[in-house]
Amino acid sequence: MAPHATTTTVPDYKNIPHAHRLPVTHRDVVRTFSKLSRQSLISLAQQWLAKKNRDFCRPYLASDQDAEDEDVDEAYEPAHSYDELQETYKLMAARKGGRKESMDRILEGDWRKGISMYQLATAEIQHLLDHPTTLRWTAKRMARIPNNRLVKDMEVTNESEHLPRFQAQTFMMNLAKELTPLMKAHYLITRIKTLPITILRVYIHDSPYSTEASLATDTSQGTDSAKAVFFIWPNGSPFVYVSLATHLGQVVGDEGRHLRDIVQQAIPKAFSRPSSRYQLTPTNFTARSLSALLAYRGPGKSNAAAGGWSIFADSSFSQNALDFITTGRPDERKKATGDDTTSGAKTGPGRPKRALDDAETTAVKRRKDVAEGRFGSSAKPNDGQGIERFEVRIDDPFPAIPNPTDQQEEDLSNIDNSQSNRDRRGRPSMLDRTIEDMEAIQDEEGEAWVPDVRLTFTGSHVFAGVRELVEKGVVDGEKMPGWMTGEASVTIGAVRHGRIRTKEAGLGV
Amino acid sequence: MSAHVVPACLSRVRRVPDHNTNPTFPQSCHVMASIDDIDSEISSVRARIASLHAQRANLASILLSTPHLSTRLQQRPVANEPLRRNASKIVKKQTSHNLENVYRACAGITAYRVRDPDPNAVDNGNILGVRIEVFVQSKFVETYHVLFSRPSARHKSMLRVHHHTVPACIPVKQLANKHLPQSQRDASKTTDQDLIKFGKLLRKELVAWHLRTAAVQKMRIEAGIEGKGKRRRATAEEPTYGKVLNAFVSDDEDDDEVDEEEEDDNSQSHERPIKIIDVESDLGVRHVSVAWSNGRTAALDIAKDGDITKAVVKTADGSRLPDLERRATGRVEGLLDRWST
């Protein structure tokens, strides 16, 4: 790896090395650094100054100073050694101060000659970890393309491995091999300590050159495309999360989207080996929160046990096999005391007034119990596993109108005269019925009327909201279909026979 | 926050006979010096309450498990009939719980029935649950569930995995495809289904996974990387963005770093100690990588039953060490012993 840029500008087949620098006024640099907190900035600077990273993050030292272009009023005196700089940042970390101060010190002082690609990448990953909901992620599955020649592919033996093997160096080499003819890119792949994930950041540089100068001049073109793409591999699972838009509210241009798609297509190829090839298949799951993704498409026990089935994933359904205690658990005790007070009130003197209260509290309690039964230990407002958007299309025939006994059916009959709006704007939705879907509906329902009804739930935590509605009595918890509890663990799907249709037989891991 | 809670709790504690064994028991509530003292006292009282509750629950379940208790309850005349009914109900609950636990502990795989609360569930929400206990290192460490539904109205015995809590690194789907085949449209050949075999193989996979995890954990402790209160002091210096996997640093720098670490963490061995500084594995514990302080690295492939099938050991300059590679193959448990001899 060449530590410094070459002066020639010949198109080449190299990656952008970690040490290449962007000018501090570069849009990406400014955007990233202005979002980081003081604490994050200082800890980043300290890590850049660590011995093993110095190759990639050369600060501006006094020895770099040219005698000729000596600035008269330098705001920041260049340091004389790495140790001095480390000391400076240690002192900064110890005292209080503004965010701007540390940012200015980094951009205008110690790294005034430019921020290296390595620094930018680590800064962006730091921001991602500080704010784990800034990006929107789509979970995909790395599925092995079935190979008819080798039938024992699917066999489970002592040596067989059903997950794609992730070996960072080999993967990076293969990925670079796929991508360098098409674009220049900077890669940073890092394993996170606090979460069981590995993050790959690909900084796309749409140019035939991989020099520092070409990186810097890219700003002037003004293409407003997102330049970095993130991929996350949860450890020990067949999934990969792809970031849809790199930054909140940033428009991703067509060109940017195509480049991103190219990177995405290269991922399964980089994983593939002779006689075991992979493809990315959709899993119908999109969310902002990384912890939600890890719960629904992660390495743990909760993937196929969402909604009310969450009681099986935590130990609330069956305690340890050697735990013989049946009475006197703290939660039971609480319940018991609650019962006591209500029953005491019933026999108490103020009967007529209390009776009303009692009826209400028992109804509330019952609704709470129903919600508990339907949602289990999931869909708590503060569990951090919120899904922002949940979309379904109903493929069941319209309920017969003559007996609109249910509240819901009345509601639906109001909608029935509004024709399905075919002139929907924008790109085709993933929920649009395909021809096969139409045929399947025709086959099963015959002449029954199956309007194109779509429901979209949005909010900060959709299923916690539904649970609250059940607890408040707005939604009937007992008649509510199962997909409203999130137990299908998808964020987009089609409902058939009252259930989310799953393409594969059985809920896969 | 709990100024009014504490007295209530105290009164409850006081009823327990052995309260005088606790030296911190607040006999002199009025001489509390500072808020810290009060806080620590509250927390100690809370801890005591919790432990007493646990003791009470334990004693209660021992009492309820007394043999012939229910018959004696039935036979003796009592003054209050509802109380007796309540008592025998509790006894019955305890007895059935004990029975269930005995089956779970001894059989390893147990089945139960649950109801799917979804009003649109197939087969009226009848669900067959299979519970798999994993017993590793003299403990029941984890319980896994697989829940089956009967999707076909015609073939009532055909089961389908409805939900499960098996981690992604266990090939539950492949096992289900093999032993619980789903014939999509033509449900003619449903005879191949073998739930027992499925359960056995799944349990084998799960237990093997836990055993591998435990073996690698033990290896870490043996190598002195973690455990035994010797947390790596590097945590503060470790970057929050994690370990960058494609940062190839120049060799001399790397050596410096390692030497520093050696000086810091190593005091027991004297002359040029070469020790293991890192043992890493994937979540499924099929691939383990080991790093030594002198830049030597090893990559190991582990079969599901814990045998190391392949091993590559390289020195810092990339030449292989066939002797160590040969000695690596075998059980994962004795790896470090084999290497050190």
When pLDDT is cut at 50, 70 and 90, the band that residue A253 belongs to is low
Q: Among the ranges A204-208, A238-242, B23-27, which has the highest mean pLDDT value?
A: A238-242
Calpha distance A402→A418 (Å, rounded): 19
Which of A381-390, A448-457, B13-22, B179-188 has the weakest average pLDDT?
Answer: B13-22
Calpha distance B301→B281 (Å, rounded): 10
Q: Give the single-character DSSP code of A276.
A: B
Written as six digits, the tokens of B153 are 């109205």
Amino acid at position A363, single letter: A
Angle, helix B81-107 to helix B35-64, in steps of 10 degrees: 90
Contacts of B242 in chain A (CB under 8 A): 125, 190-194, 199
Calpha distance B202→B194 (Å, rounded): 12
User: CB distance A325–B58 less than 8 Å?
Assistant: yes
Cβ atoms within 10 Å, residue B258: 17
Calpha distance B282→B216 (Å, rounded): 11
pLDDT, tens only, B237-251: 456 666 777 765 433
| Residue appearing with tokens 């705001």 | A75
Written as six digits, the tokens of A353 are 């007034």
Backbone region of residue A31 per phi and psi (left: phi > 0; alpha: psi in -120 to 50; beta: other values): alpha
Beta bridge partners of A454: A393
Angle, helix A254-271 to helix A168-179, in steps of 10 degrees: 130
User: CB distance A318–B104 less than 8 Å?
Assistant: yes
Written as six digits, the tokens of A92 are 């900064």
Calpha distance A412→A408 (Å, rounded): 6
- Position B110 scores a pLDDT of 92
Span B13-38, mean pLDDT?
55
Contact A92, A84 (CB under 8 A): no
Span A13-36, mean pLDDT?
84
- Position B200 scores a pLDDT of 92
User: CB distance A304–B176 less than 8 Å?
Assistant: no
- Position A157 scores a pLDDT of 79
Paired sense of beta strands B307-314 and B330-331, if any: antiparallel
From the number of C-beta atoms within 10 Å of its C-beta (0-12, 13-18, 19+), residue A353 rates as exposed
User: CB distance B121–A238 less than 8 Å?
Assistant: no
Of B116, B168, B201, the CB nearest to A236: B168
Contact A221, A27 (CB under 8 A): no
- Position A443 scores a pLDDT of 73
pLDDT, tens only, A174-227: 998 888 888 888 898 988 888 889 999 888 887 777 777 777 765 444 455 557
What ipTM, to 2 d.p.?
0.79
CA A13 and chain centroid, separation: 32
Mean pLDDT score of chain A, rounded to an integer?
Answer: 76
Span B54-82, mean pLDDT?
84
For residue A436, CA distances in Å to A60, A498, B317 come to: 63, 19, 59
Calpha distance A239→A382 (Å, rounded): 25
Selected for mutation to probe chain A from B150, B194, B245 (highest A CB count within 10 Å) is B245
In this structure, what are the phi and psi dihedrals at residue B288, rounded to the nearest 5 degrees? -125, 135
pLDDT, tens only, A127-179: 888 888 888 889 999 888 876 655 544 567 777 788 888 888 888 889 988 88
pLDDT, tens only, A73-83: 566 777 888 88
Residues B323, B325, B331, B334, Cα dihedral to 10°: 60
When pLDDT is cut at 50, 70 and 90, the band that residue A340 belongs to is very low
Calpha distance A317→A329 (Å, rounded): 14
Q: Which residues contact B134 (CB under 8 A, 6 or more apart)?
A: B140, B141, B142, B143, B144, B203, B206, B207, B210
- In angstroms, the separation between the Cα of residue A124 and the nearest Cα of chain B is 9
Calpha distance A24→A45 (Å, rounded): 15
Nearest chain B residue to A126, by CA: B241
Q: Number of C-alpha atoms within 13 angstroms, CB side, residue B267?
A: 3
Beta bridge partners of A205: A184
- Position B201 scores a pLDDT of 92
Angle among Cα B146, B151, B152 to the nearest 5 degrees reads 140
Q: Number of C-alpha atoms within 13 angstroms, CB side, residue B222?
A: 17
Q: Which residues contact A165 (CB under 8 A, 6 or more apart)?
A: A271, B287
User: CB distance A156–B90 less than 8 Å?
Assistant: no
Q: CA-based Rg of chain B, rounded to a whole angstrom? A: 29
When pLDDT is cut at 50, 70 and 90, the band that residue B181 belongs to is confident
| Residue appearing with tokens 């599925």 | A143
Residue A109 confidence (pLDDT) above 60: yes
DSSP letters of A291-326?
Answer: HHHHHHSSSSTTTT--GGGHHHHSTTSS--TT----
Angle among Cα B230, B234, B236 to the nearest 5 degrees reads 115
Written as six digits, the tokens of A336 are 């018991």
- Position A353 scores a pLDDT of 47
CA A101 and chain centroid, separation: 32
User: CB distance A156–B178 less than 8 Å?
Assistant: yes
User: CB distance B160–A298 less than 8 Å?
Assistant: no
Nearest chain B residue to A188, by CA: B246
Nearest chain A residue to B92, by CA: A326
- Position A409 scores a pLDDT of 43
